[in-house]
Structure 1
Amino acid sequence: MNDTAAGSMYERIGGAATIERVVESFYRNMNLMPQAQTIRAMHGDGLTGMKIALKKYLTEWTGGPGVYSSEKGHPPHMRERHATFPIDNYARDIWMDCMDQALEEHITDEGVRAQLRENVKTLADQMRNTK
């Protein structure tokens, strides 16, 4: 993700506190949206580990401290980590709906939110592995 003169995306969204809120809302949305139950099931019963991993990933991916790759490896290997799950356009779209709602709720700067959303959408597109 690109840094700008205004700082990294991590700094522009409000750092760790905002990522914490976005991830919590994202998984809450996944739990509450009936159409998200298929992708929610892919995450297993307990979400604690998934939340921690996503928080670390988003932290590093947005330009914050390198807290993800030291444990899980370089972030571009995300597609490989998701290969065992059938991710089609519908799953990608529902995942994005959950994330869009979380971003809308916690990132107040519309321009920053739009940029982050486009970056996240590109990442979600890359996870697709079936039609």
Structure 2
Amino acid sequence: MGETPTLYEWAGGTDAFVRLTEAFYARVTKDELLGPLFTRMDPEHARYVAIWLAEVFGGPPAYTEEHGGYPHMVAKHIGMAITEPQRRRWVNLIQDAADEAGLPDDPEFRAAFLGYIEWGTRLAHQNSQPGADVFTEAPVPHWGWGVAPPYQG
């Protein structure tokens, strides 16, 4: 039995996160609740989010090196006033996109994946509220398996 792979490796690397975000943003732009938040979305937005997620889940630090890391990401959410229904829809649509993109469907991976998605969307929701006291300087989070790493018999 070898070393436990990162979530990034288990998912299939950057290509898997690119497939995920392409499937996700295809859904988002058509969604009546989320679509308005993304009307002026940069054409490269899905790729930027893919490299963010890749870095979070243990991949290369491309988001930090190319886009400024956590301070840049958090700045994108300030003042957006994301509602709880919008946050929840985001969570649901990314899970559907994970299925469509062929991300691993084992319970251990999906629990870790959803753990980050819940944490990240709740932080984005909180930081997006008018007058929020936002902590803007932090490293990109590095998400791991938590309590249930994959069983490799």
How many positions carry a matched residue from both structures?
124
Residue 69 of structure 1 deviates from its aligned partner by 0.7
- Does the 8 Å contact 1:29/1:101 carry over to 2? no
Question: Per-residue displacement from partner, 1:66-99 (whole Å, max 9, x unpaired)?
Answer: 1101122222653332012111211100111111
Whole-Å separation in 2 of the counterparts to 1:73 and 1:45: 21
Q: Which of 116, 120, 129 in structure 2 is aligned with 1:119?
A: 116
Structure 2 SS opposite 1:37: coil
Partner of 1:37: 32
Structure 1 SS opposite 2:62: coil
Question: Per-residue displacement from partner, 1:48-82 (whole Å, max 9, x unpaired)?
Answer: 22112111111111111111011222226533320
TM-score for both structures, normalised by structure 1? 0.81
Residue 45 of structure 1 deviates from its aligned partner by 4.1
Q: Which of 19, 39, 61 in structure 2 is aligned with 1:66?
A: 61
Partner of 1:24: 22
TM-score for both structures, normalised by structure 2? 0.71
Residue 18 of structure 1 deviates from its aligned partner by 1.0
If each structure's helix is expressed as a fraction of its own residues, which one has the higher value? 1
5+ unaligned residues in a row in structure 1: which ranges? none
After the TM superposition, which residues 1-131 of structure 1 pair with which residues of structure 2 at under 5 Å, given as runs? 5-32=3-30, 36-75=31-70, 78-105=73-100, 106-107=102-103, 108-128=105-125, 129-130=128-129
RMSD: 2.1
Whole-Å separation in 2 of the counterparts to 1:72 and 1:87: 23
Whole-Å separation in 2 of the counterparts to 1:112 and 1:72: 27
Q: Which moved more, 1:36-45 or 1:110-119?
A: 36-45
Instruction: Mark the structure with the bigger radius of gyration.
Output: 2
C-alpha spacing 1:98/1:84, structure 2 compared with 1 (3 Å): same
C-alpha spacing 1:91/1:17, structure 2 compared with 1 (3 Å): same
Whole-Å separation in 2 of the counterparts to 1:29 and 1:49: 16
Whole-Å separation in 1 of the counterparts to 2:28 and 2:35: 6
Whole-Å separation in 2 of the counterparts to 1:80 and 1:7: 31
